[in-house]
Structure 1
Amino acid sequence: MPGATSAPTARALDAIESLARAGQTRMRFSDIVSELGLTQATAHAILKTLCDRGWADRDPVDKTFSLGPAAAVVAARIDAARPFTHAARAAAVAVHRDVGYPTSLVERTGDTLVITAIEGGDPDHPAGIPGDRIPYAPPFGVAFAAWDTPEGQRAWIRQAAASDPAVEQRLDSILARTRERGFDIDWTTPALAQHAQLVGTMHGDGLPPRIRRPLERLLAEFATVGYLSDDDPARETQPIVTISAPVFDHRQRVPLIVGVHPLCALTADRIEAIGQCLMRATAAVGSKRSGTV
C-alpha cells in the first residue's frame, strides 16, 4: 500500500511478532529491548500498552512476557477469516505426511516473504520459524517470481542485475526453467541465505570503483546461489534446502507457496516425485478456491 508508514505502530507489531516467535519461551524485558533495538523507555511504553490491551502478558513473579489473551482471540478467528490460507496449510500438512520432510507455507506481502507455518522438522535444526521474513529479491522467491507478471519479474530481476546483463539472462532462464518444470528447487543453505540477505542490503552507490565492483560481483553471485543447472554434477551430492510449488488464486496470481525441506541430497527421481506431490496438492487448493473440481 503506498504512502507513509507509522514507526510507532511498526515497533508495537515488532514486539508482538517477537513474543510470537518465542513460542512457549517467555521473554525477559532485556531480551525484548536487545532484540528490537529499542530504548528501555520505548520498550516499557510499548509492553505496558500491549499488556493493558491483552496482547501481552507479564508474569507477576519473574517479570517475563508472553503473548496475551487478545492474541488468542485473533488466532481463533484466523481460519475463518483466511480460508484460502487455511486450505493451503492443510495441503502442507498432507504433503508432510506423504513425503516425510518438513513442509512450510510462505506468503508474499509486497516486497517481503513471510513463513506462516511449518509442519514437522527437527526443532534443533529448523527449516525456518513462523514469522521469519525474507526479502522478495534474488535468490529468494523464485517460485513467486516465475509466475509473476512480466513487469513483476523484471522488477524482481533488477534488484540483483541492475547493471549486469549476464546475471539478468541467468535469472530469466531460472524463472523460465521453473515454469517449465512446475516447481522450484533451491540449494541455498541457511548459512548462504543469511549471507545473501546481508549482501542484499548493501549498495555500491557513492563507493569508489575498487570497492563497488567487487560488491557488484558478490551481489551477482548471491543472486543465483541457490540454483544448479540440470547438467551440474553437484545436484546429486549437494543437500536440497527447498522444493516449492505455487498456489494460484482466482486471478491466477501466486499469493503463497508450499515448500518441502529435505535438507539432504536427493536423486533426480526423488526430486521429481516430491515436486509432483507438491503440484497435486497446490493445484487442489487452487481448484477449491475457483470452485472447480
Structure 2
Amino acid sequence: MSVPVQPGRASPPTDRVVQILDFLASRPTERYGVSELARRVGLSKPTCLGIVTSLTEAGYLVRDPADKTYRLGPSLITLGHRAQESMRVSPAARDHLRRLSARYGATAALSAVVDDRITLLDLVAPTGARPGVEVGQSYPFAPPVGLMFVLWDDEAEQDWLRRQPTIPLRTDTERLKRVVASCRADGYLVERQTPGGRRLYALMAGMPTELPDELRALLGELVSDIGERVYLREESSGRRKHDISVISAPVFDHYQRQVMVTSMHIGKALTDNEISERARAVVAAADAVTAQLGGMRPRDPA
C-alpha cells in the first residue's frame, strides 16, 4: 500500500506558513486583514505580515489593494493539479466520476491510502449538493475504517487487521470471511447506512490514528464489528429496501495491486436490484480508471 514517512525534525517557521494556509483554506470565501489573520491563527502581526507578503509574491495568496485583505491565490490551483497528477488522478478519471454522479444524482469519489491515511483524492457532487467531505480530507487507515482498501489482497488484509484499531472491536471471523469472499466474487463492497456509521466518518475526519480513550469509547458504541455494516445480497430476503451508505470498487495498477478506490455515496434506501445496478456502474467506472492507469485486475486463482 503506502510506506510510512519517518518522522523528522519539525520546522516552526514552516508550521506557521502551513497554519495560515490551512486557516484560509478552511474559509475559502472569506478575506482577512493582517491584524485579524494574525489574531485568528495566534501569530504576532509582524510574523504574519512577513508570511502573507511572501505568499502573495509567489501567487499563493491574493491581496485586495482596496481593503488590504488576503485570500487564497491562483498558484494553489496549479499545486492542487500537480498533487492530483502525482497521485495519478487525471482529468479523465474525473470524467468517469462526473458521469457516475450525473447518472445517479449522487456524489462520486476517488480515494487512496497515502502515508497510512485514507485520503480523498477527487470528488464530484451533484449541483447544489453538500457532500460533507472535501478533497484532501483524510481518515485513519485502521480497523474498522479501510476495509474497502484490503478486500482484494490477502496480505494487505492481514496487515490491516494487525493494526491497532481506532476503536474497541470484536471480529466475527466467519462473517468477515464471507464478506471477503462475496466482495471478491462480485468486485465491489456495499456498506449499509446506520446511525452510528453516519456519525463515524464525521467524527474521525482529520483525527490521528491514536485517538483519546474517551473518543475511542464513544466510537466503540457506534461500530463494534468490522463487517457489521456490510450488505451481502445472499443475506437479503429480497422483499425490502436497505439503507445504503456507500458502494465501492477497487482500482488496480499494472502490477495488479489495488491503488485506489472508486466510490458512490448513496445515503438512502435501495432495493436489491437497485443496489446491483449501481454497483455495476461503480465497477465500470473503477475499471475505466484502472485501464487509464495501464492497470489490470488480479487474475483469479487457478
Aligned to 1:136: 141
CA shift for structure 1 position 248 = 0.8
In structure 2, do the counterparts of structure 1 residues 268 and 15 end up closer, same or farther at CA, with 3 Å as the change threshold? farther
Q: Does 1:221 align with 2:224?
A: yes
In structure 2, do the counterparts of structure 1 residues 64 and 182 end up closer, same or farther at CA, with 3 Å as the change threshold? farther
Aligned to 2:279: 275
Aligned to 1:192: 200
Q: Which has the higher strand share?
A: 2
Aligned to 1:239: 243
Aligned to 2:161: 157
Q: Alignment partner of 1:221: what SS?
A: coil
Asked whether the 8 Å contact 1:145–1:156 carries over to 2, the reply is yes
Aligned to 2:74: 69
Q: Alignment partner of 1:265: what SS?
A: strand
In structure 2, do the counterparts of structure 1 residues 77 and 3 end up closer, same or farther at CA, with 3 Å as the change threshold? closer
Aligned to 2:43: 40
d(CA) in 2 for partners of 1:199 and 1:71?
Answer: 25
Contiguous gaps of at least 5 residues in structure 2: 297-302
CA shift for structure 1 position 146 = 1.1
Aligned to 1:208: none
Q: Alignment partner of 1:255: what SS?
A: strand
d(CA) in 2 for partners of 1:173 and 1:184?
Answer: 12
Contiguous gaps of at least 5 residues in structure 1: 205-210
In structure 2, do the counterparts of structure 1 residues 266 and 260 end up closer, same or farther at CA, with 3 Å as the change threshold? same
Aligned to 2:252: 248
Asked whether the 8 Å contact 1:143–1:257 carries over to 2, the reply is yes
Residues 147-195 of structure 1: CA deviation (Å, up to 9, x unaligned): 2451x32232233299966356655543443223211212354423224
Aligned to 2:299: none
Residues 253-280 of structure 1: CA deviation (Å, up to 9, x unaligned): 2222221112111111111111111112
Q: Which has the higher helix share?
A: 1
CA shift for structure 1 position 82 = 6.1
Aligned pairs, number: 281
CA shift for structure 1 position 289 = 2.5
Aligned to 1:207: none
Residues 93-118 of structure 1: CA deviation (Å, up to 9, x unaligned): 12223333221122321211222222
d(CA) in 1 for partners of 2:74 and 2:179?
Answer: 45
Residues 117-167 of structure 1: CA deviation (Å, up to 9, x unaligned): 2212364642522222122223322221212451x3223223329996635
Deviates more, 1:40-49 or 1:246-255: 40-49
d(CA) in 1 for partners of 2:154 and 2:271?
Answer: 32
CA shift for structure 1 position 223 = 4.4
Asked whether the 8 Å contact 2:250–2:286 carries over to 1, the reply is yes
Aligned to 1:114: 119
User: Please, which of 254, 260, 268 is the counterpart of residue 264 of structure 1?
Assistant: 268
Q: Alignment partner of 2:287: what SS?
A: helix
d(CA) in 2 for partners of 1:239 and 1:11?
Answer: 44
Residues 201-231 of structure 1: CA deviation (Å, up to 9, x unaligned): 4366xxxxxx9x9679548616456334543
Q: Alignment partner of 2:171: what SS?
A: helix
Q: Alignment partner of 2:293: what SS?
A: helix
Q: Alignment partner of 2:257: what SS?
A: coil
Q: RMSD of the TM alignment (CA)? A: 4.0
One-letter amino acid matched to 1:183: Y
Aligned to 1:53: 58
One-letter amino acid matched to 2:260: L
In structure 2, do the counterparts of structure 1 residues 65 and 216 end up closer, same or farther at CA, with 3 Å as the change threshold? closer
Asked whether the 8 Å contact 2:63–2:71 carries over to 1, the reply is yes
Q: Does 1:92 align with 2:101?
A: no
d(CA) in 1 for partners of 2:286 and 2:124?
Answer: 16
Q: Alignment partner of 2:270: what SS?
A: coil
